[in-house]
Amino acid sequence: MSERSVPDWLLKEDKFDPPKDGGAFLRKSALALASVIRSVRRVPERPRGPSFSPPMRLALAVLTILLVSASRNFMFVETIGVALLVLLATFDARKLARTLALPLEAYLTALAILAPALLWGQTRAFVVVSTKTLVTTLVLSLLIQSMNWNRFTCAFKTFGAPDSLVFIFDLTLKYVVVFSEICLETIDAVLLRSAGRNRRRARTLGGVVGTIFLRAQDAAQEQFDAMTCRCFSGVYRRYRAPFRRSDIVGVSILIAILAIFAYFEYARLCLT
Amino acid sequence: MHIPDNYLSASTCVVLTVATMPVWISSIRKVTRDFPRERFSALGVAAALSFLAMMFNVPLPGGTTGHAVGGALLAILLGPEAACLALTIALAIQALLFGDGGVLAFGANCFNMAFILPFGGYCVYAAIRKFFKVKTGSVGDLLAVGFASYFGINLAALAAGVEFGVQPLLFHTPEGQALYCPYPLAVSVPAMAIGHLTIFGLAEIVFSVFVYTFVHKTAPGFATNSSFFSQTVAEAAEADVSPKTGVLPKFGPVYLLLVLLVILTPLGLLAEGTAWGEWGVDEIASVTTSGEELGYTPQGMTNGFEWSAFIPDYSTPGVPEWLGYILSAIAGVALCVVLFKLATLLTHGDPLAKE
């Protein structure tokens, strides 16, 4: 069997440096949409500790956020911050990064907005407001990371939220995913079919948005028809979240947070 | 041994920070190369151990206080480079969050406690192990740990004493008043040495030997310094692998030790007085040395840099001191662990990007 040599032209490395065109804007939009879909479709990891029911989680988070916002004793904010730090210390690096991304963004924004307070000598306000921002957004981030979006619907209903609110929330989340997917597919198609140099590629995004708007109208009609067919008038049955054993721990934490808040507020009153 | 701000001139701080830079860079390189992602939690735990050790103040007759650092211990258990990084993080948390040690003097404190202490102690331990052919876990090994930690902390105290002592020689007013630390070498070196050669050195030995024995008996997988533990710990670490992940080593007993130390931290409040060289601006003028009161506040201190820490001196007004101390300990420990977990994203890449 005779040996065959590889032709020289095949060994040469292809140099393909396409000229810059207007596709970066579309690609970034596609990535942003993909991240939206991922965040809504995310399946939270199963917690290692006690798993509270969705209403219990919502109650814990809302109460903590309210008390941290209302607290006039900074020690309470510090205590909650320390407790959250201990919780974070049990996370692995990946979960930690995911949980801290939103609060750190909010914290840095708060620092930037409050920076003029330092010039006026309001150091205390600077520290207190920025820390409260960090702690409350951290609680929110932990809540979002801990359960699926549909669990939020259940939790809202348990607390007697109006049907219209639950319906809008539910529908919004579902259609965020549906329309993001359509949008993503359309952008992909535009990027694939637009060959060569096209400086005005970003303009096609306007067409994509227009298409989505038309599809949204159709979807709304289809949704209405589907609801009519299934005799769904937008009234949700009250979701009875089973009271789990672990919720006893949640109730204990809730009481502890209230007690700590009361203690620090009492201590503040005594000091003043 | 935590040098506060304005005790050293800005130029001294810059020189010591620049001197520590190569150590930090080489330590980061070595640790990034040698430590897998799963082992990074050990660094956080190590930093937390040292953080807690520094919260236990020990009194010295005469009214000053000091504490153990555990630098040589960490160097023996994890290697000097890993110890350097763990101590750096612990010192950074102390300076920024609790105002313990200066922010400008951070480089100087790291030079003493994150470089000289662990590397010095480690060299002594390695020399003893090699010279006397000591086996891991033997009485000789414990003696080596004790001696290395004693040597390390005294070397660091000597360095701090020299840094304090050269200030009045180099920086003073035309009238002869010191601008920064007012005590010359003849005062600062003996003052730092006396405490560390006696009580504080003893505290460092007790802490190091106790933790070393505890780790060796309960969580040998924690010690990853292959220079000394390759024979015994490799086998133990293999048996200590978590069945869930197959990789993550279990540090359960070490975490329990941390909890115990956190609960005991208020004992550090029993020691009253200020450590030598850590007086506030309001008290330095009345400090008496050899029967003589200083009588003035150095200019560099009155007009110096001031950092408003989050929880100054580990306490918050309106809360019992012991409670503030415990909360500070919990915050420090949790922050050490969290920061080293986040560090894995920098050293080993972003896992989110790989999803």
Radius of gyration (C-alpha) of chain A in whole angstroms: 26
Residue B185 has phi, psi (to 5 degrees) of -55, -35
* Per-residue model confidence (pLDDT) at position B344: 83
**Which residue out of A90, A92, A127 would a mutagenesis test of the B interface target, given it has the greatest number of B Cβ atoms within 10 Å?**
A92
Helix axes B321-347, B40-53, angle to 10 degrees: 150
Give tens-digit pLDDT for B313-336: 888 777 788 888 899 999 999 999
Give tens-digit pLDDT for B147-195: 999 999 999 999 999 999 998 888 888 888 888 888 888 888 998 888 8
Please, what is the Cα angle at A19 between A18 and A21, to 5 degrees?
A: 115
* Per-residue model confidence (pLDDT) at position B248: 45
CB pairs under 8 A between A and B: 63
Give tens-digit pLDDT for B27-85: 999 888 887 776 777 888 999 999 999 998 888 776 678 888 999 999 998 889 999 99
* Per-residue model confidence (pLDDT) at position B335: 92
* Per-residue model confidence (pLDDT) at position B284: 79
Give tens-digit pLDDT for A28-86: 777 777 777 777 666 666 656 567 888 888 889 999 999 999 998 888 998 999 999 99
- What element of type H or E holds A180? helix A163-193
**Which residue out of A31, A39, A72, A86 would a mutagenesis test of the B interface target, given it has the greatest number of B Cβ atoms within 10 Å?**
A86
* Per-residue model confidence (pLDDT) at position B249: 54
* Per-residue model confidence (pLDDT) at position A119: 83
What is the C-alpha to C-alpha distance for residues B355 and B342, in angstroms, rounded to an integer?
17
Residue B102 pLDDT greater than 70, yes or no: yes
Q: Is B345 on the interface with A (CB under 8 A)?
A: yes
Q: Are B129 and B123 in contact (CB under 8 A)?
A: no
Q: Is B172 helix (H, G, I), strand (E, B) or coil?
A: strand
How large is the ipTM?
A: 0.80
Residue B352 pLDDT greater than 60, yes or no: no
Mean model confidence pLDDT for chain B: 84
Distance from CA of A107 to the nearest CA of B (A): 15
Please judge whether B318 and A93 are an interchain contact, meaning their C-beta atoms are less than 8 angstroms apart: no
* Per-residue model confidence (pLDDT) at position A105: 92
Among residues B64, B55, B19, which one has the least CA distance to residue B287?
B64
Highest mean pLDDT among A187-196, B208-217, B242-251: B208-217
What is the C-alpha to C-alpha distance for residues A63 and A55, in angstroms, rounded to an integer?
12
What is the C-alpha to C-alpha distance for residues B125 and B144, in angstroms, rounded to an integer?
6
Task: Tell me which residues of chain A have a C-beta less than 8 Å from any C-beta of chain B.
Answer: 73-75, 78-79, 81-82, 85-86, 88-89, 91-94, 96-98, 100, 123, 127, 264, 267-268, 270-271
Residue A77 has phi, psi (to 5 degrees) of -60, -40
Listed in sequence order, the residues at least 6 apart from B353 whose beta carbon sits closer than 8 Å to its beta carbon are none
* Per-residue model confidence (pLDDT) at position A195: 65
Give tens-digit pLDDT for B111-160: 999 999 999 999 999 999 889 888 877 889 899 999 999 999 999 999 99
Q: Are B34 and B322 in contact (CB under 8 A)?
A: no
- Location of structure tokens 């510090």: A78
* Per-residue model confidence (pLDDT) at position B296: 78
* Per-residue model confidence (pLDDT) at position A120: 83
* Per-residue model confidence (pLDDT) at position B238: 53
Give tens-digit pLDDT for A86-101: 999 888 888 888 889 8
Alpha helices, DSSP H, located in chain B: 10-34, 40-53, 71-78, 80-98, 106-110, 117-132, 139-170, 185-197, 199-218, 226-229, 232-239, 252-264, 299-302, 321-347
Of A85, A88, A267, the CB nearest to B318: A267
Number of alpha carbons in the 13 Å side-chain half-sphere of residue A115: 6
- Percent of chain B surpassing pLDDT 70: 90
**CATH architecture of structural domain B10-347:** Orthogonal Bundle (1.10)
* Per-residue model confidence (pLDDT) at position B231: 42
- Within its chain, how far is the Cα of B219 from the centroid? 22
Domain ranges of chain B: 10-347
Please, what is the Cα angle at B315 between B202 and B191, to 5 degrees?
A: 35
Residue B285 pLDDT greater than 60, yes or no: yes
Residue B292 has phi, psi (to 5 degrees) of -115, 135
Give tens-digit pLDDT for B220-234: 777 776 666 654 444
* Per-residue model confidence (pLDDT) at position B245: 46
- Location of structure tokens 């035309």: B174
Please judge whether B319 and A267 are an interchain contact, meaning their C-beta atoms are less than 8 angstroms apart: yes
* Per-residue model confidence (pLDDT) at position B246: 43
- Within its chain, how far is the Cα of A158 from the centroid? 22
DSSP bridge pairs for B249: B241
Copy the structure tokens of residue A194. 């637009």
Question: How many angstroms separate the first and last alpha carbons of chain A?
Answer: 99
Residues of chain A below pLDDT 70 = 1-3, 18-23, 40-50, 195-202, 238-242, 272
Q: Is B59 helix (H, G, I), strand (E, B) or coil?
A: strand
Q: Are B76 and B225 in contact (CB under 8 A)?
A: yes
Copy the structure tokens of residue B281. 């601006």
* Per-residue model confidence (pLDDT) at position B134: 83
